[in-house]
Homo-oligomer: A and B are copies of this chain.
Amino acid sequence: MATAPDPTSRSGAEARLALPKYADVCAAAERLAGRAVRTPLLESPWLNARIGGRLLVKAEPLQRTGAFKFRGAYNCISQLDAAARERGVVAYSSGNHAQAVAAAAHMLGAPAVIVMPNDAPAVKVAGTRRYGAEIVSYDRATEDRAALAEGLARDKGATLVRPYEDCDVIAGQGTVGLEIAAECRVRDIAPDFVVVPAGGGGLMAGCALALSAELPDAALYTAEPSDYDDHARSFAAGARQRVRDMSAATLCDALLPEQPGERTFAINSSRVAGGVTADDDAVLGAMAAAFHELKLVVEPGGAAALAAVLNGALETTDKTVVVVASGGNVDPDVFRMALDRGADHA
C-alpha cells in the first residue's frame, strides 16, 4: 500500500520517505464515498462578528465514531486483502483513532485489538469496546505503546494501523481538506486561512496535500495546546522538535504525541505557514461557542483550532477563516466545564 515518492516534492525529506500524494487523497475519497459522513461547513453571525471576518467550521464531530479518524482508518483497512483482514488489525491510541479502527474493522469484517492508555477518557474506551474490539491497557508513564502494539501485531500476523505515520491514514484524513475545498467552490468562498488541530500531524498533512493543490492561496496553520506546541516550534526551527514537558496538564487528550511524525512533518514543513496555540481556558470557551452558535459538541482537542482563532492567534479582520473541529468525544463532566465557562457572548 506504500506510495512511491513524489518526483515533484518540495522538501528533501519527501524524497527519502514513502509519502502519500494528492492523487492518494482523491483515491481515498472514492473509497470513503457513502461510508464516511460528508460533514457540513457551519457558520454563525456571532462567530463572524467575533473575528471581524468570516469563520467556517468543518464539523467532524458528526463523522462516524465522532472524529475525523474514521477516514484514515477506513481508507487503510479497506485496502487489505481477504487473508489480511482475517488476521485482523492492531492499533494504539488515546481514543479517537482507537474507535475509528474498531469501527472500520467491524464494517470490513476484520477483528481488532486496540492498545489504550489506562487513563483514556471513559467515553472513548466504552466507544471502542462497543465495536467489538479487544482492548489492551497500558501505563503511559512506564510502557511503550508502539512497541506493545507492534509485538501484538507480530504475534497474530495482524496489520498495525498507525495513527498518523501511514500513507493510507494520511490520505484518508486528507479527504477533510478535499471536502472543504469542494464546499468552498460551491459557495464561492476563498479562505485566507485554514487552521487544523495537530497531534501527530496526520490530519494537517492530509489536508495540506489536498489544500495546497485545491486552495493554493490559503495559508495553512496547525493548532495545538499551549504546552504541546511541538508542531509550531518545529515549523519555526525547520526541524522536528519535542514537547518540552510531557507531564504538563491539558484537557486536549487527543493532541498529546511528543513530536510531529516524520512523514507528516515531511509533508507539512513545506506546505504549512506555521502553528498557533490555545490554552485550556480558550479551549473551553471555544467548546461553549460551538454549543451556543453551531449546536455542535466538540471535545477539547477538537476545539483547539477554533479556540486559537477566537482567541486572536491570527489577524482575522476582513479575512475568511476555515477551522476544522476535529472531534466530539468528550465526557459530560468536561462538557459541563465548558458550559460553566461560557462563550464570551456580549
Contact = CB atoms under 8 A, between A and B. Distances in A.
A345 B123 CA distance: 11
B328 A332 contact: no
Contact of A42 (B62, B292, B339): B62
A1 interface: no
Contact of A40 (B62, B131, B186, B298): B62
Contacts of A66: 295
A130 B48 CA distance: 12
| Oligomeric state, in copies | 2
Contacts of A45: 103, 130-131
Interface of A: 34, 37-40, 42, 45-46, 59, 61-62, 66, 103, 123, 126, 130-131, 186-187, 291-292, 294-298, 328-329, 332, 335-336, 339, 342, 345
Given A62-B296, A332-B339, 17 more contacts: A34-B186, A34-B187, A37-B40, A37-B42, A38-B40, A39-B40, A40-B40, A40-B62, A46-B130, A61-B295, A62-B295, A66-B295, A123-B292, A291-B332, A295-B297, A295-B298, A295-B328
A335 B345 contact: no
Closest 5 CB pairs of A and B: A295-B328, A61-B295, A295-B297, A332-B339, A66-B295
A291 B295 contact: no
A50 to B, nearest CB: 12
A267 to B, nearest CB: 28
